[in-house]
Amino acid sequence: MPMNNAQPGTLLIVDDTPHNIKLLFEFLNNYGFEILVAEDGKDALEIAQEEQPNLILLDVLMPGMDGFETCRYLKNNPKTHNIPVIFMTALSDTLNKVKAFKLGAVDYITKPFQQEEVLARVNTHLTIRYLQRELETQKEALQQLNQELERLATLDSLTKLANRRRLDEYLQREWRRALREQIPLSLILCDIDYFKPYNDTYGHQAGDDCLQQVAEAINHAVSRPGDLAARYGGEEFTVILPNTPSEGAMRVAYLIQNHLQSLKLIHPNSEVNPYVTLSMGVSSTIPTTTCSPDILIQIADRALYEAKEQGRNRIIFKTSS
């Protein structure tokens, strides 16, 4: 039986001698293997591509396309490249063995073969292939897990927007790109108006629900793949808009405002509106080597402060120049 825990595999025997095929077929079939047969290289290539056997026992000396050429085609075909090939031949000199391994064969059995040796080598290479596939599966699963962990590490758990870490990394990256290409970079800083009274009235659970709905409104307005909406902290949110001048940034800010207004989130203790509103500060610049990305946040923060001073529920733009 095969040495792995899987069911016996499918073997393709390629040999132009009917007697050899009959011996191998009967012997290996008794051990539970499913046997496919080809009498020349051309048929072997077609069967291997269509049936995807677990292993190929390949004779070298065949008329027309010999075993070496057949193996070369198998290894150059992405669909059959990974199928293990064991050569079987009366050619026992070192040069032919070296040639077989250079072509990608995993083993070499000299004729006349011993049945028990064939079985042992088949089992060994099926086990190796089984373990390789297990390792590949585990590697893929680990990569997916790492990607998910990375995603969670840069995600705000409540709002599902990017978190502060992701925001800082993204701003640094887009600043460098904008500096290199001399294109505008814009930023919107949003703050929920009178959020503390909202929490005091409805409780923290309702406050969390409010934050989630505001986040959805912001994210809905941020439509381009390169734009990033993030939770800045508490009830503050930030939007990074690469390659966006001030006019485009203001359009996005008004879109956010409109989306939020359409939700009609009741806020009886707001001093500016019966519904939840946002104050927003917008900044835009073409980066230079004499300033850092922090300048965008600082300017947007000053614009946000003015929006609050002027009565909240409004959008104020400021530029670095």
Q: How do strand 228-233 and strand 236-242 relate by DSSP bridges?
A: antiparallel
Sequence-distant (≥ 6) Cβ neighbours of residue 295 within 8 angstroms? 285, 320
Minimal CA–CA distance to 316: which of 257, 261, 265? 257
Please work out, in degrees rounded to the nearest 5, the angle formed at the alpha carbon of residue 53 by the alpha carbons of 52 and 57.
135
Minimal CA–CA distance to 250: which of 173, 298, 314, 162? 314
CA distance 259 to 273: 15
- How would residue 87 be classed by pLDDT, with cut points 50, 70 and 90? very high
- Cβ atoms within 10 A of the Cβ of 40, count? 17
CA distance 151 to 136: 22
Per-residue pLDDT at 177 exceeds 60: yes
Q: By three-state DSSP, how is residue 217 classified?
A: helix
High-pLDDT (> 70) share of the chain, %: 97
Question: Phi and psi of 186, rounded to 5°?
Answer: -120, 160
CA distance 37 to 47: 8
Identify the active-site residue in 235, 236, 247, 271. 235
Mean pLDDT to the nearest integer, 225-239: 95
Instruction: Please report the pLDDT score of residue 287 as a whole number.
Output: 94
Q: What residues does each domain of the chain span?
A: 10-143, 164-319
Q: Read off the DSSP letter of residue 275.
A: B
Mean pLDDT to the nearest integer, 225-236: 95
Q: Which residue has the higher pLDDT, 93 or 176?
A: 176
Residue pair 67/14 in contact by the 8 Å Cβ criterion: yes
Instruction: Please report the pLDDT score of residue 294 as a whole number.
Output: 93
Quick one: how far is CA 203 from the chain centroid? 39
Residue pair 315/258 in contact by the 8 Å Cβ criterion: no
Tokens of 290: 């004499």
Per-residue pLDDT reduced to its tens digit, 182-199: 999 999 999 999 999 999
- Known active-site residue 169: no
Amino acid letter, residue 247: E
Instruction: Please report the pLDDT score of residue 7 as a whole number.
Output: 58
- Cβ atoms within 10 A of the Cβ of 37, count? 17
What CATH superfamily classification does 164-319 receive?
Reverse transcriptase/Diguanylate cyclase domain (3.30.70.270)
Range of weakest confidence among 5-9, 78-82, 266-270:
5-9
Minimal CA–CA distance to 34: which of 55, 20, 50? 55
Tokens of 264: 């009609």
CA distance 300 to 246: 12
Fold of 10-143: Rossmann fold (3.40.50)
Amino acid letter, residue 185: L
Range of weakest confidence among 16-20, 52-56, 110-114:
110-114
Mean pLDDT to the nearest integer, 200-226: 93
Amino acid letter, residue 145: L
Question: Edge-to-edge strand order for the sheet containing 55-59?
Answer: 34-38, 10-14, 55-59, 85-89, 107-110
